[in-house]
Structure 1
């Protein structure tokens, strides 16, 4: 199980992609620190851990950065397997995406 105390999410309240990750973290009951990014004046931490793309959302977990909301959600799903976000049956999972 992952160390919840070391989870930080950099996002912006207007971003639906940030909201998607917030929802996943809350749904799983994962404690996290939220850092609101001003996209015109990005924090040094965002620039340090995401120097190429410099985009949000960005998840920091145990000093490792993950970006792109769907990739972050896949990471969350695999790292914290309790309370699955996705259905177990492949057909039902595809229908839920529709």
Structure 2
């Protein structure tokens, strides 16, 4: 499981509308909206690639200006589970 924290800025006055759309995306949880232009959310996905694919779906949402990855926890990422640690 990969968990990514995302910060999004929208056109002022459009955060709540964008957050409603974002919250409907599987794996996305909206945690906070501030000043009606800032959104904090997390993405939970099976892999890094899937997390990236989910974030890519944010781009066409009306009002979204900036999407920033704040953190990512991928200790259970399948690619890392198979890595040779005895090098």
TM-score, with length taken from structure 2: 0.29
| Higher-RCO chain (CA-CA 8 Å, sequence separation at least 6) | 2
Larger Rg: 2
Structure with more strand by fraction: 2
